[in-house]
Amino acid sequence: MGHGRGPADTYRSGRVLLAGDAAHDTPPLAGWGVSTGIQDAANLGWKPAAVANGTAPDSLLDTYHAERHPLGEQLMRNTHAATMFYLSGPEMDPLRALVRELVTDGSAAGHFAGMVSGLGVRYDMDPAPPDRWA
């Protein structure tokens, strides 16, 4: 399923669903992987129950990959960039200065904060009948 340092190719294969560290192999940096794993669990937790109770079709489980995989890719990109940013030498000083300048802008700072905290994650919440999952 996985391909090394990145999110798994798919978060679902039949009855197997991946979340957290099983879904995305991240370097340990500021707990971003833990936060993303908790978000994975929150997104996935209710879906198998809805399928098992017959209130949603099995295809609802496919929405987990569609919703979370792009965030796993973003997590990988951000943690690898931050690792290089924090752990490298003075050759990164010009980039550090640029990022410091960017985060003084309110919208850029808000965007960064939303990515790091997970508060920028949004899902389609259109009220629709269960047949939308079919």
Predicted TM-score (pTM) of this structure:
0.73
101-131 pLDDT tens trace? 988 888 888 888 888 777 777 777 665 555 5
Mean pLDDT of the chain: 81
Matching CATH number, 12-133, of 3.40.50.80, 3.60.15.10, 3.40.640.10, 3.50.50.60: 3.50.50.60
- Decide: helix, strand or coil at residue 7: strand
Q: What is the DSSP string of 66-86?
A: HHHHHHHHHHHHHHHHHHHHH
CA dihedral (73, 75, 76, 82) positive or negative? positive
Q: What is the pLDDT of residue 4?
A: 43
User: Residue 125: is it exposed, middle or buried by C-beta count within 10 angstroms (0-12/13-18/19+)?
Assistant: exposed
Q: Domain extents for the chain? A: 12-133
pLDDT tops 80 at residue 29: no
